[in-house]
Amino acid sequence: MRAWFDDMAPAFQRVPDLLAQHLQLSFAALALALLIALPLAVWAVRNRHVARFALGFASLVQTIPALALLALFYPLLLALTAIFGDWITPLGFLPSLLALTLYALLPILRNAVTGLNGIDPAIVEAADGVGMTRAQKLRLIEAPLAAPTIMAGIRTAAVWTIGAATLSTTVGQPSLGDLIFAGLQTQNWSLVLAGCLTSAGLAIIVDILLGTIENAIANRRKKRGWIAAALLAGGLIFALVPAAQADNNTITIGAKRFGEQYILAQLIGQRLERAGYSVRYREGLGSAVAFQAAAGDGIDIYVDYAGTIWTNEMDRTDRLPRPAMIAAITKWARETHGMKVAGPLGFENTYAFAVRADDAQKLGLDTLDDLARVSPDFAFGTDIEFLERPEWTMVKQAYPMRFRKARPYEVTFMYKALSSGQVDVISAFSSDGRIAANNFTVLADPKGAVPSYDALLLIAPGYADDRKLLDTIQPLLGSIPVKKMREANYMVDRPEDKKSPASAARWLNTQIEKLTKESQ
Amino acid sequence: MAANPSQTRGPSLALIGLSRHYSEVVAVDNVSQHIAPGEFVALVGASGSGKSTLLKMVNRLIEPTSGRIKIGGDDVTDREPHELRRSIGYIFQNIGLFPHMDIAHNIAIGSRIGNRPTLPPGEIADLLESVDLPADMATRMPGQLSGGQQQRVGVARALSTRPGLMLMDEPFGALDPITRENLADNYRKLHDRLGLTTIMVTHDMAEALLIADRIWVMSHGRIMADASPAQLLGGGCGEDAESLVAVPRGQAERLLARRDAL
């Protein structure tokens, strides 16, 4: 019990801040959805074409997975920034708000239409008969009679929105999802639990309060309804207070959705804090999201990989020697986005095709050419995005592979899939500690099909010329050998005796300082 | 039989070439009729004869396809529909009390929506009394009342704005015979005392014969007969009227025959 508590306490440390952000986002989305759905419902009840279109659209939205809906707003808003300029941000709050609002529309709209249509026609006839105007009929008769049904819809929407808001982490909006995604990636179940419990608890509390209001309306118990409404309002005020105190001089450190990124973010953050900066983390970002967030000053500093920028952002498939490639990226980032590439960290995290050691021995697998030979009998496990990435096309062009089947996994489960025999080869990451720990064999790439993936420290335009910041992070450049990175990664990723990314980062820092001293 | 005009607050009513078409179907077919102030007209006919449509065109719940309606000489289209309806009492079979308001609020709805001073409790008690309901009924909710009590409240609600013209669409059709008789009698007394002009749609010829000053017999959208109850009972008002009158007359004769047979 004691051990469990020690485990959970730090996990809950970040909850208040994330809870506040989560609440703000959910409430804002719900409020916006109400503003749209209620008038639309009134219109839909009076016009069946509107009803068909509005309900059809809202239902269609529901069929899109929430994660995809969030991701879709990114390119859309990005296109809009070209027209509207700076006041549209394609990442963070705005896309989350819009996606969640769309998601909340259906239950509110459907219940409101059902509630309004369900009113006894005799009552409507009486309202007309006594001479009510349309507005009076809505205010005095239709709204109060449909209110219980509408409130039920709002409750459904509230629970959905609070749940789906955890996904906004992926587009760079801090939420309780930060804990869940970070926990899933590093298999830190305390974090996952902290995120899930808090978001579920929030959903339940809001549902109970809204339920109380619903009941109060149905039974005309005004006092109870007002108390519940006051508690909801109080919660919203609590959520808004930290936002009002947000500090503009805080450095925001970004991290993508895997262990190494969490460790490096902490490593940078700890160094900045020692230098007197206050920092905050924005973790769990999608790959493309992270770069765009930095380009738009949504995050101030993060680590990306040369090959990722080369293929994804610069759309290049040609091969250059490592130093030339880094120079080209540095120049491009500066010229097109005003970003500063501070430099490489010293290790590479490239795609490495890994197989089980016994297969490698038995079938004589050393290179990707060998893999191509046996590929018709092999099942291929990848991370979520690899099959869609240009690197996969480049590899296929160089080595004609056709696998028996290919299946994407979350990274943690990808390694498990290989060790358990569900798949026979995976697109592993060369800096991942789990390759060595599982005794996997990495196949060589004699044709050099996979570009180089040097870890690069990237700085957003806002801090690109900030001397103090650059001096502070300077010692990290070229200082992390791949072997140390692997060890740090394994501390976080291993199934037993896990360390948090923060303590792995502290360990890595002492190693860096040791190595620096030795070299001096 | 009409009330003394000096006590009459009811207006006259003129229907001029009134028609209502629903695509191919002609619900009301070129009706021209006149009602004097204070008259009580019953509109009878089989289902689908167009009597409800005709009634609802008077307070513009249904707009005519052609023709005009004048109340007290003024065309009904001179005013916004909601203003017109506030000056007309409307009572219908399904009553339509507002279930989320108590009886007092139901009755006072007319003054509330008309930006008039709220009805004092005394006036609500008077209205309840006029429909034979106790004053303490005011705080009850509609769901707690029987059907007959609800329709009494419906009548009180319609009277609360002091209208001159009353439109009644099978007002007592869903009630049991005793309640129905009772309510009909009570309403007729109110009609006389307040000097109202009333049109009541009913499919019950006996009720019409007993309560109304004049009866319009309607069939296929037209007024086939316009006569007093005495004239109708005397015959010679046409086939449609005869077949409708034959029912209660036959019933009465059979009842008398049974009594005599005992």
What's the distance, CA B251 to chain centroid?
25
Measure in Å the smallest separation between the Cα of B94 and chain A Cα atoms. Answer: 6
Give the pLDDT confidence score for residue A389 in this predicted structure: 81
Higher-pLDDT residue of A235 and A457 is: A457
DSSP A145-180: HHHHHHHHHHHHHHHHHHHHGGGGGGGT--STHHHH
Measure in Å the smallest separation between the Cα of A105 and chain B Cα atoms. Answer: 27
Establish if A222 touches chain B: CB-CB under 8 angstroms: no
Give the pLDDT confidence score for residue A247 in this predicted structure: 53
Q: Please list the ranges in chain B whose pLDDT falls under 70.
A: 1-8
Establish if A219 touches chain B: CB-CB under 8 angstroms: no
Closest CA to A181 of A262, A274, A66, A293: A262
Give the pLDDT confidence score for residue A85 in this predicted structure: 66
| Nearest residue, CB atoms, A123 vs list B61, B96, B157 | B96
User: Contacts of residue B83 in chain A, CB cutoff 8 Å?
Assistant: 131
Higher-pLDDT residue of A346 and A183 is: A346
DSSP H helical ranges for A219-275: 222-244, 259-274
Cβ neighbours of residue A460 under 8 Å, at least 6 residues apart?
A294, A295, A296, A297, A298, A299, A300, A301, A339
| Nearest residue, CB atoms, B96 vs list A126, A140, A220 | A126
| Nearest residue, CB atoms, A130 vs list B94, B100, B113 | B113
**Per-residue confidence band for A4, with pLDDT thresholds at 50, 70 and 90:** low
| Alpha carbons A180 and A188: distance in angstroms, whole number | 9
pLDDT (tens digit per residue) in A490-504: 888 887 788 888 889
Residue A197 has pLDDT above 60, yes or no: yes
Asked if the Cβ–Cβ distance from B96 to A129 is below 8 Å, we say yes
Asked if the Cβ–Cβ distance from B157 to A120 is below 8 Å, we say no
Give the pLDDT confidence score for residue A391 in this predicted structure: 83
Give the pLDDT confidence score for residue B7 in this predicted structure: 63
Closest CA to A174 of A383, A8, A66, A16: A16
| Range of weakest confidence among A335-339, A391-395, B235-239 | B235-239
Cβ neighbours of residue A325 under 8 Å, at least 6 residues apart?
A306, A310, A451, A452, A454
Asked if the Cβ–Cβ distance from B85 to A128 is below 8 Å, we say yes
% of chain A beyond a pLDDT of 90:
44
Higher-pLDDT residue of A511 and A520 is: A511
Residue A103 has pLDDT above 60, yes or no: yes
Asked if the Cβ–Cβ distance from A131 to B110 is below 8 Å, we say yes
Whether pTM exceeds 0.80 = no
pLDDT (tens digit per residue) in B103-134: 999 999 998 898 777 778 888 999 999 899 99
**Per-residue confidence band for A181, with pLDDT thresholds at 50, 70 and 90:** confident
Residue A113 has pLDDT above 70, yes or no: yes
| Alpha carbons A319 and A316: distance in angstroms, whole number | 9
What is the ipTM for the molecules in this complex?
0.90
Give the pLDDT confidence score for residue A1 in this predicted structure: 46
DSSP B56-97: HHHTTSS--SEEEEEETTEEGGGS-HHHHHHTEEEEETT---
Residue A241 has pLDDT above 80, yes or no: no
pLDDT (tens digit per residue) in A39-67: 999 999 888 898 889 889 888 888 888 88
